[in-house]
Structure 1
Amino acid sequence: MIGLVSLDGSARPLANELHAAWPESSRVHHASRGNCFQEPEAMWFALGRYEQVVAFAPLATVVSLIGRLDIDVPRGTALLCVDPQRRYVIPLTWPSTGAEELAQEVAAVLGVTPVLTGPGPRPDAPVRPDVTGRSDAPGRSDAPADAPVLRIIDQEDPGDSDLLVFPRTLVVGIGAGSGTEPGEVMRLLSDTLKETGLARSSIARLATVTGKADHPAVRWAAFCLTGVPVDEHPAQALAGVPVPNPSAVVGAAVGTASVAEAAALASAPGGELVVAKRKSATATVAIARAALRGRLALVGLGSGEHDLLVPRALAELRRASAVVGTTDAVEAVAGLLRPGIRRIATDDGVGAALDPVETAVTLASHGHAVALVALGDGSVLDMPPPGPYDVHRVPGLPDRPADVRAELPVDGQGDPA
Structure 2
Amino acid sequence: MIGLVAVDGPGRPLAEELHARWPESSHVHRASRGNCSQPPDVLHFALHRYRSVVAVAPLPAVVSLLTGGLVTLPRGTALLCLDPQRRWVIPMAGGDAAEALSVEVAAALGVTPVPTGHAPVPGHPPGPGHLRRAAESGTPEDAPVLRITDREDPGHGDVLVLPRTLVVGIGAAGGAGPAEAVRLLEETLEEAGLPRSAVARLATVAGKADHPAVRWAAFCLGGVPVDEHPAQALAGVPVPNPSALVGAAVGTASVAEAAALTSAPGGRLVVAKRKSATVTVAVARAALRGRITLIGLGAAAAGRPAPRLPAELRDASAVVGTPEALDALDVLAAAEALDAADVLATAEAAAGPLRPTTRRIAVDVAAGTTTDGAGAPLDPVGAAAHLAAHGHAVALVALGDGAALAVPPGPYEVHHVSAPPAAHHQGDPA
Task: Name the TM-score, length of structure 2 as normaliser.
Answer: 0.55
Query: Is residue 323–residue 372 contact of structure 1 (8 Å, CA) maintained in 2?
Result: yes
Report the alpha carbon displacement of residue 175 of structure 1 after superposing the two structures with TM. Answer: 1.2
- CA displacement 1:59-114 (0-9 Å, x = unmatched): xxxx9x97xxxx9445699xxxxxxxxxxxxxxx7466xxxxxxxxxxxxxxxxxx
Alignment of 1:208 onto 2:185: no
Count of residue pairs the alignment pairs up: 308
2:168–2:284 Cα contact (<8 Å) kept: yes
Instruction: Tell me the equivalent position of 2:126.
Output: 141
**Partner AA of 1:346 in structure 2:** V
Distance 1:239 1:346, change over 3 A: closer
Q: 1:150, 1:161 within 8 Å by CA — same for their partners in 2?
A: no
Matched, 1:355 2:379: yes
Query: Quick one: structure 1 residues 129 and 24, their matched pair in 2 at CA, closer, same or farther if it must change by over 3 Å?
Result: closer
Amino acid at match of 2:230: P
- The DSSP-based 3-state class of the residue aligned with 1:188 is helix
Q: Which residue of 2 aligns with 1:367?
A: 391
Identity %: 57
- Take 1:132 and 1:197, find their aligned partners in 2: how far apart are those partners? 20
- Quote the residue 2:417 is aligned against: 394
Cα RMSD, aligned residues only: 4.8
- On the 8 A contact 1:297/1:394 being kept in 2, the answer is yes
Among candidates 273, 279, 294, match of residue 275 of structure 2: 279
Distance 2:419 2:64 in 1: 38
User: How much does 1:382 deviate?
Assistant: 1.5
Report which structure shows greater RCO (CA 8 Å, sep ≥6).
2
In 1: Cα distance, 2:171 partner to 2:247 partner: 12
Which residue does the alignment assign to 2:373? Answer: none
Aligned partner of 1:121 in structure 2 is 89
Displacement of 1:260 after TM fit?
A: 0.9
Structure 2 vs 1, CA of residues 244 and 387 (structure 1 numbering), >3 Å: closer, same or farther? closer
Structure 2 partner of 1:342:
359
Using a 3 Å threshold, how does the CA distance of structure 1 residues 362 and 160 change in structure 2: closer, same or farther?
farther
What pairs with 1:3-402 in structure 2 (closer than 5 Å)?
Answer: 72-74=63-65, 94=82, 117=85, 120-121=88-89, 124-126=101-103, 138-142=123-127, 143-144=130-131, 153-156=149-152, 168-182=164-178, 184-301=180-297, 309=308, 313-314=310-311, 316-327=312-323, 329-330=325-326, 332=330, 335-338=352-355, 340-347=357-364, 352=369, 355-374=379-398, 378-379=401-402, 382-401=405-424
Deviations, residues 195-227 of structure 1 (Å, cap 9, x unaligned): 212354543432101101122332333344455
CA distance 1:351–1:258, change in 2 (3 Å): closer
C-alpha displacement of 1:140? 2.5
**Structure 2: gaps of 5 or more residues:** 1-32, 45-57, 69-80, 92-100, 105-112, 140-144, 334-350, 371-377
In structure 1, distance between residues paired with 2:258 and 2:216:
21
In structure 2, what is the Cα distance between the partners aligned to 1:210 and 1:49?
34
Deviation of 1:192 (Å): 2.4
Q: 1:253 to 1:386 in 2, by over 3 A?
A: closer
Alpha-carbon distance change, 275 to 399 in structure 1, aligned in 2, over 3 angstroms = same
How does the TM-score come out when normalised to structure 1? 0.57
> How has the CA–CA distance of structure 1 residues 255 and 383 changed in structure 2, closer, same or farther, with 3 Å as cutoff?
closer
SS state of the match for residue 121, structure 1? Answer: strand
Partner Cα distance (2:293, 2:391) in 1: 13
Whether the 8 Å CA contact 1:138–1:359 is kept in 2: the answer is no
Using the alignment, how far apart are the partners of 1:329 and 1:163 within structure 2?
Answer: 41
Structure 2 vs 1, CA of residues 95 and 136 (structure 1 numbering), >3 Å: closer, same or farther? closer
